[in-house]
Amino acid sequence: MADKKPVILYGASGFSGRLVAEYLREYNVPFLAAGRNRAKIEQVLSHVPGVETADYEIAEAGDSPGELEKLFAGAKVVCNTVGPFLYNGPRVIEACLSAGCHYLDISGEQAWLREVEEKWSGKFARAGLLAAPATAYMSATSDIAAQMCLETSGIDTLETLSMFKGTPTFGSTQTIFAVIQTEAFYLEQNRYKPWVRAQGHEAIVPSSVETQLALAWGGFPHPVWYKDHPQVANVRSMGGILDRQLMENVLATEKHFEKEIRPLPKEERERKLSEMANSVQGGTPPRENTREHRTIDVVIGRGTTSFAKCVMFGTCAYRQTGLLQAFAANHLIHAAPRKVGFASPTSAFGHRDLLGALESHGLVKARLYS
Ligand SMILES: NC(=O)c1ccc[n+]([C@@H]2O[C@H](COP(=O)([O-])OP(=O)(O)OC[C@H]3O[C@@H](n4cnc5c(N)ncnc54)[C@H](OP(=O)(O)O)[C@@H]3O)[C@@H](O)[C@H]2O)c1
């Protein structure tokens, strides 16, 4: 299949898919915009600025493993933006492996990252392929900050905080609710420890005089990325949206879930969570505005006598996600990743390179204090 586009953008009709398309166009990467509804993909992509100069085709496909494998065959990279990844990730990554493509996605659910590491890391590594879930604002941007802290020697403990202003999309809201049922872990002496369920955390955010309400939100990817790290032994990650009322509501939902919904059978539990998510957000929010939708990612690194702190002042979480995917896809069609199998975006592409991409697009500015 010599004429196949090298990148498959799966979920091209979504809010994030559209932004990945926008940045693939900037990198001049030819791509196949794929999903389950051709008309919707056409309609969404028609709003991508400058789309007439993008090198792309549209493909509609069902979501059976066979159809997905056929869709991906002959490409080099799959960018998967179809979440919640806890539900939709397995069939896509499996088809990606069968088709012999590198796998990227924009997940943030720790349970999904643990699953990718356990079930697919070895298979991807043996095929010389990368599996890099969470190549997205949450948590790649904070992991760049973590890596900046680790440039100071002696750091063995990381605390990460990722917060953004904005309206979660339909898919993000489904994911926020889906993740409530999963076990969230932090890392203590390289072992997973469960977070206390349904507990809020007052977080100190450098750019604000008030504290913010953060949640463990499924645990975040970092504990999985650092579990076998030779230097880092302890990782705690939390985050949320810079909107206290909204976070109070999510916390109240977590408490309600523990009492009323956790005891139900799995299918009923998932159905109830999805219904609750539908009642909160059924539509697509407007395009982000750089002056409104700011992000802040804080990482504090500690060793016995050493300290480092990195703050990423940024904007537009979803645009950061689109750029990170396009940067990674562009890298993979030109060069091998630094690591194969399951890997964080920073270990696959280098934190300084990812930071350079985000900074040069005006989406973040890193400040390091040590
Ligand atoms: N970690 C991060 O920083 C980050 C950032 C952004 C997004 N995300 C995650 O990415 C996911 C997507 O977010 P979004 O903002 O793009 O949501 P969205 O606007 O709701 O888009 C969801 C996309 O998934 C497709 N889809 C949903 N279920 C499907 C299925 N069963 N089969 C095939 N396609 C399906 C939708 O197709 P239709 O249009 O046909 O419905 C649409 O293209 C969510 O899980 C979100 O949490 C993470």
Cα 170 to ligand 1 centroid, rounded to whole Å:
7
pLDDT in the model for residue 284: 84
Instruction: Collect all residues with Cβ–Cβ distance below 8 Å to 341 and sequence separation of at least 6.
Output: 121, 122, 124, 125, 129, 130, 131
171 lines ligand 1 (CB under 6 A): yes
Q: How do residues 150-180 score in pLDDT, each as one tens digit?
A: 999 999 999 999 999 998 899 999 999 999 9
pLDDT in the model for residue 167: 87
pLDDT at position 315 over 90:
yes
pLDDT grade for 370, boundaries at 50, 70 and 90: confident
Contact present, 178 and 109 (Cβ < 8 Å) = yes
Percent of the chain with pLDDT over 90: 93
pLDDT at position 368 over 90:
yes
Q: What residue ranges do the domains of the chain occupy?
A: 7-136+318-365, 137-317
- Closest ligand 1 atom to Cα of 44: 39
Q: How many angstroms separate the CA atoms of 293 and 193, rounded?
A: 33
178 lines ligand 1 (CB under 6 A): no
pLDDT in the model for residue 283: 78
Which residue's CA is the closest to the ligand 1 atom numbered 27?
82
Contact present, 21 and 93 (Cβ < 8 Å) = no
Q: How many angstroms separate the CA atoms of 329 and 26, rounded?
A: 12
pLDDT in the model for residue 2: 53
- Closest ligand 1 atom to Cα of 172: 47
How far are the Cα atoms of 13, 227, 274, 283 from residue 170, in angstroms, in the given order? 12, 31, 10, 6
Taking domain 137-317, whether its CATH number is 3.40.190.10 is answered by no
CATH code of the region 7-136+318-365: 3.40.50.720
Give the type of residue at 257. Answer: F
Contact present, 83 and 277 (Cβ < 8 Å) = no
Cα 83 to ligand 1 centroid, rounded to whole Å:
5
pLDDT at position 8 over 60:
yes
Which residue's CA is the closest to the ligand 1 atom numbered 26?
82
235 lines ligand 1 (CB under 6 A): no
| Span 82-103, average pLDDT | 97
The 10 Å Cβ neighbour count of residue 58 is 16
| Span 190-212, average pLDDT | 95
Cα 17 to ligand 1 centroid, rounded to whole Å:
8
Which residue's CA is the closest to the ligand 1 atom numbered 20?
171
Contact present, 29 and 333 (Cβ < 8 Å) = yes
The answer, as to whether pTM is greater than 0.95, is: yes
